[in-house]
Structure 1
Amino acid sequence: MALSLAALRILLGTFFALTGAAKLSPIAAPVSQQMRALFVRFAEVFPLRVFGYQPDPVSYQTAVGWLELLAGSLLLVGPPLLRHISTMFLISLMMGAIFTLVFLRESLSTYIPAIVCLWLLLLLDVCQLLAQTEKVARPRRRRKTTPRVLKES
């Protein structure tokens, strides 16, 4: 189980680090233009817009890119506590992505990557939690010792 958990963690960490880097990198011009057009639409249905805050699409894309890159990198090489925190950040990002796609009334085929990523992140988080509680719940074996009273007599 530990090997499959590590493989899932590496797969997700690499995926999110690369997608975050793609959002930040101006190298691939056609992909960058498509992402900018998507983030213009995403900014229109930003959840905090109800309170009067609507982000600039470029800064919104940059913020999401940095969060994905940082959380993906921590998922890859971070200590267990930071891996758990990065998993929580990525889960909230995927829930936000699904929220955005619902409000934009996109087709179901557009939801599938976000739903699969969310499901895999939840699976990873639950498995990590179970692995930690299994380590804590195992009782340590004690050596059988005879009471001092019996030793003396």
Structure 2
Amino acid sequence: MALLFSAIRVVLGLFFSLSGVVKLTDRISSEVYQQLKSQFVQFADVFPLKEFGYKPEPGRYLETVGWIEVVAGFLLAFGPQLLQEISNFVLTIIMIGALYTLLVLKEPIAMCAPATVCLGLLLLLNIRGRGRSAKSKFE
């Protein structure tokens, strides 16, 4: 079972890293990069902290999310346990923000599915990690 969770962690981490790279450069897919640039204009309009007077510039917002996904994804896949847990938390916050944004924009369920699946897997890894550390305390 530990091997399955390790595989999920590595695959999910690599997925986030690749997703982040796509947000940072048009070399992988120019079409997807341009689509993301236009989507982040909409995403900036409904940014959760907008209520407090902060609205990010869409290009910086895209770049920031991209770098967070690259670094946190890599650490989730290959980092030491503490950094895996921190990156899991950071990516969970990113996915909650993504779902919030998609729901506020009233995007179709199909658009929400990838973020929902990723969030579910991150929470599964988090719960599994908590169970493992609690188990070791009692042994």
TM range (shorter): over 0.9
What is the alpha-carbon distance in structure 2 between the residues aligned to residue 56 and residue 84 of structure 1? 29
Aligned CA-pair RMSD: 0.8
Matched with 1:49 is: 50
CA distance in 2, matches of 1:8, 1:136: 24
Q: Distance in 1 between matches of 2:32 and 2:94?
A: 21
Q: Aligned partners of 1:133, 1:50: CA distance in 2, in Å?
A: 39
> Aligned-pair distance for 1:46?
0.4
What 5-or-longer segments of structure 1 have no aligned partner? 139-153
- SS of the aligned residue for 1:30 comes to helix
CA distance, structure 2, for counterparts of residue 80 and residue 32 of structure 1: 32
Runs of 4+ in 1 over 6 A off after TM superposition: none
Structure-2 separation of matches of 1:108 and 1:29: 25
CA distance in 1, matches of 2:32, 2:116: 22
TM-score by length of 1: 0.88
Aligned-pair identity in percent equals 45
Which structure would you say has the larger Rg? 1
Residue by residue, what CA displacement relative to the aligned partner does 1:50-101 show, whole Å, maximum 9, x if unpaired? Answer: 1111111100000000000010010111110110000000100000000001
Mind listing any 5+ residue stretches in structure 2 that lack a counterpart?
Answer: none
The match for 1:97 is 98
TM-score w.r.t. the length of structure 2 is: 0.96
The AA in structure 1 aligned to 2:15 is F
Structure 1 distance, partners of 2:136, 2:40, is 43
* Matched AA of 1:2: A
- Asked if residue 7 in structure 1 is aligned to residue 16 in structure 2, the reply is no
Structure number with higher helix proportion: 2
Tell me how many residue pairs correspond in the alignment: 138
